[in-house]
Chain A
Amino acid sequence: MTTNPILEIRNLHKHYGDVEVLKGVDCSMQRGDVVCVIGSSGSGKTTMLRCINMLEEFSDGSIRIDGEDIGYELRDGRRQRKSEKEVARQRALTGMAFQQFNLFPHMSAAENVMLGLVKVKKMTRDEARAVAEKWLDRVGLLSRRDHYPGQLSGGQQQRVAIARAIAMSPRLMLFDEVTSALDPELVNEVLVVIQDLAREGMTMLLVTHEMRFAFEVSTRVIFMNQGRIGEEGDPKEMFLRPKSERLAEFLKNSSFH
């Protein structure tokens, strides 16, 4: 190991009642990595992503960001959940873009981006506005800064949502199937934004069904299968010469050719 990993997941377990969704996932990322997680639905890829920022509680194992344990700590030899305030602070270490965008409908595009800057980063409104405008410009929507989500197309909403997450300067960006809810002709404008961010060295973990995109953009691909990492490695290797039967079958059934 050369440098400390930005993300280190060890033996991650998660179950809903009797159903075990994650059965021991180990994974780590270095700064600047762009990792795509692929796999069929129900394989646990979204759940794993959501555990990283504690949108899901997990039952066992550990997640570390820059060496800091997320969500839980050992106190008197017992695993205990950290305080709500501490968890909120840790959530801001990562940024997340959602499948359904989840913009705040009662705020303009600029206000959506500014909210976290003002409330969490404690910037003044003027500082926050400047940062928001910089990032809205980056995703090509500066002219729409005063528009409300209901006045924007799906692709535009998703770009605002990405700007909102990135403006918080997270150490790691999480993308949860960000193009799945978009009309086909709007997918590309969002992928272009993500691709630019990747090129600039942003550390990103993406759950995606866009195989072509995963193939071209990622530095590494993780194939999840039934709550475990089925296969992981260089995208070219994996897509062109899958080692496992499962992955070969998955690739054959998905849109990648």
Chain B
Amino acid sequence: MDFSFAQFLHELWIARVPLLQGVGITIASAALAIVAGTVLGVFVGLALTYGAAPLRLPMRGYTDFIRGTPVLVLVLASYYILGTAGIQLGPFQAGVLALAVFCSSHVGEIVRGALQAIHKGQIEAAKAIGLTFSQTFVSVLMPQAIRQILPTWVNTAAEMVKASTLLSIIGVGDLLLASQEVISRTFMNMPFYLFAGFLYFAINFGIERFGRFVERKTHIPS
């Protein structure tokens, strides 16, 4: 079917509220998942790097299991399996939980890699001036690890935005679902999918710029 650009703009204007809501839900679900997944992932990374075997081995199993599972399966499991297990979450909550868990396993591995790359003399020097481990982590390890983590973390964050489209399957009204609803009413496939694609790109471009900004801020002169 052939539509003029003016018609597209007209339909876009009519659908502005549900589409904006969709963008809001996409950003909210991805942002919550990234924040929760990153916080959780830092602890996973710490456990993988410095944990004693009783902590480290279950964490290793956790990350390997989660990373080997498709996100869609995690989303469905979190919505349906937790439901039958008596933990009834709404689609949005279940979806965010699944994304956060997925994110944490990836961030955990990234953090582990970055921490292991730090020379052990750094920990020794921190110990020698009397810092406790948590002080060492906050002042010495994390600031150095962040610089290593950042580029990969930006990738993971962008992946989370893209993975949030899977929440549409359990009925979360994200940008993709909102676009599809508009399309089913107007039959304007091309322009609205392109438009959705452009919005996803814009969100990820924002994340990438933010990553660059932090990289510049944390650059070590030498």
Chain A residues with a Cβ under 8 A of chain B: 53-55, 84-85, 88-89, 91-92, 94-96, 98, 100, 102-106, 115-116, 119-120, 148-151, 161, 164-165, 168
Cβ contact within 8 Å between A105 and B144: yes
Cβ contact within 8 Å between B121 and A151: no
Question: Which residue of the partner chain B has the closest CB to A88?
Answer: B132
Distance between Cα atoms of A151 and B219 in the complex (Å):
13
Q: Which residues of B contact A88 (CB under 8 A)?
A: 127, 130-132
Q: Does B128 contact A (CB under 8 A)?
A: yes
Cβ contact within 8 Å between A119 and B124: no
Question: Which residue of the partner chain B has the closest CB to A174?
Answer: B128
Chain B residues with a Cβ under 8 A of chain A: 119, 121-122, 124-133, 135, 139-140, 143-144, 147, 218, 220-222
Cβ contact within 8 Å between A150 and B130: no
Q: Classify the secondary structure of A's interface with B.
A: mixed
Q: A148-B220, A151-B222 are in contact. Are A102 and B130 (CB under 8 A)?
A: no
Cβ contact within 8 Å between B144 and A55: no
Cβ contact within 8 Å between B129 and A120: yes
Top 4 closest pairs, chain A to chain B, by CB: A150-B222, A92-B130, A116-B129, A102-B125
Find B121's partner among A84, A89, A102 (CB 8 Å cutoff).
A102
Find A116's partner among B119, B121, B131 (CB 8 Å cutoff).
B131
Distance between Cα atoms of A90 and B87 in the complex (Å):
48
Known pairs A98-B125, A150-B222, A161-B125; list 12 more (Cβ under 8 Å): A55-B128, A89-B130, A95-B128, A96-B128, A98-B124, A102-B121, A104-B122, A104-B126, A105-B222, A106-B144, A106-B220, A120-B129
Instruction: For the complex formed, measure the closest distance between the CB of B215 and the CB atoms of chain A, giving whole angstroms.
Output: 13
Instruction: For the complex formed, measure the closest distance between the CB of A178 and the CB atoms of chain B, giving whole angstroms.
Output: 13
Which of B121, B124, B129 gathers most chain A CB within 10 Å? B129
Q: Which residues of B contact A120 (CB under 8 A)?
A: 129-131, 135
Distance between Cα atoms of A184 and B220 in the complex (Å):
28
Find B221's partner among A119, A151, A164 (CB 8 Å cutoff).
A151
Q: Which residues of B contact A103 (CB under 8 A)?
A: 125
Question: Which residue of the partner chain A has the closest CB to B220?
Answer: A106
Cβ contact within 8 Å between A119 and B131: yes
Cβ contact within 8 Å between A92 and B129: yes
Question: Which residue of the partner chain B has the closest CB to A85?
Answer: B132
Distance between Cα atoms of A92 and B139 in the complex (Å):
17
Cβ contact within 8 Å between A84 and B130: no
Q: Which residues of A contact B143 (CB under 8 A)?
A: 106
Could you list 25 A-B pairs, sorted by A, with CB under 8 Å?
A53-B127, A54-B127, A55-B124, A88-B132, A91-B127, A91-B129, A91-B130, A92-B130, A98-B121, A100-B119, A102-B122, A102-B124, A104-B126, A104-B139, A106-B143, A115-B129, A115-B139, A115-B140, A119-B135, A120-B129, A148-B220, A148-B222, A150-B221, A150-B222, A151-B221
Question: Which residue of the partner chain A has the closest CB to B219?
Answer: A106
Q: Which residues of B contact A104 (CB under 8 A)?
A: 122, 125-126, 139-140, 144
Q: Which residues of B contact A105 (CB under 8 A)?
A: 144, 220, 222
